[in-house]
Amino acid sequence: MKIARYEFDGQVRYGLVEPESGTVREIAGEPFERVEATGIVRRLDEVRLLSPVVPGKIVAVGLNYKDHAREMGKKIPEEPLLFLKASSAVNDPGGEIVYTPQSQRVDYEAELAVVIGRKAKNVTSEDAASHILGYTCINDVTARDLQVKDVQYTRAKGFDTFAPLGPWVATDLDPSAASVRCLVNGEVRQDGNTREMGASVGRLVEFISSVMTLFPGDVIATGTPPGVGPLRVGDVVTVEVGGIGALTNRVVAP
């Protein structure tokens, strides 16, 4: 099942996407309790896809792929390295990534995102799946020079538009072996797989929920494979996760 959030005629709705037919079936309310179709069906090309959820927080994981840690010249953490991305950074599928004038180098980072479906506190890795609604794509856009300058990640990761999310939530994905790719102007820049992650999705939910309560709609960005690099104004960047789909955004000047 693929769950989208979209706008039609000024109204925001959730719906079930059927990519083969190019349609979305409206559901009543939000998808965190019960999914019930209203009977209204629209074509995907007549709606505007929005970020599939509105997260209260985005909990991101740094250096969760060993080859990415090496390319950044850093050691692999003994425990998951957590940081927060501002919820105000969330961007829609097809939305514009604004190249901040505060930075001279803005990078792409393709990642699998976990969408929480049920309140989670002190959840075990074995029970993690029962607290997950599904999975989507996220681009953890980063002002790399500011990350180095500031040491901590808040400013570098937190600019408005720096968290494209979407295109929808896939509820039936196996997160243990999903391909994760990034393309810039059609050229493959990252080509990894979640089986290369140091901490699995279950381990991340367990670790994070031991620190902070996760609520429905919260997002975990699970880390990026090697191959990160700079974006330029005018670039079209696409994050692809196998079993989900493609998230595409264009980089624009301030």
Cis bond before residue 167 (omega within 30° of 0): yes
pLDDT at res. 34: 87
Sole residue written with tokens 């991305």: 85
Q: Where are the domains of the chain?
A: 2-49, 58-252
As beta bridge partners, residue 12 has: 7
Q: In the chain, what percentage of residues exceed pLDDT 70?
A: 100
pTM above 0.85, yes or no: yes
**Is 58-252 a domain of CATH 3.90.850.10?**
yes
- For residues 221 and 167, give the distance between their C-alpha atoms in angstroms, rounded to a whole number: 15
Q: Left (φ > 0), alpha (ψ -120 to 50) or beta: where does 73 sit?
A: left
What's the topology of domain 2-49?
A: SH3 type barrels. (2.30.30)
How far is residue 128 CA from its own chain's centroid?
A: 18
At residue 69, the pLDDT reads 77
Give the CA distances from residue 142 to residues 104, 123, 213, in Å, rounded to whole numbers and listed in that order.
11, 30, 25
Tens-place pLDDT, residues 99-118: 999 999 999 999 999 999 99
Please count the CA atoms within 13 angstroms of the CA of 51 that sit on its side-chain side: 25
Of residues 240, 12, 249, the one with CA closest to residue 135: 240
Between the two ends of the chain, the Cα-to-Cα distance in Å is 37
The answer to whether 85 touches 58, Cβ cutoff 8 Å, is yes
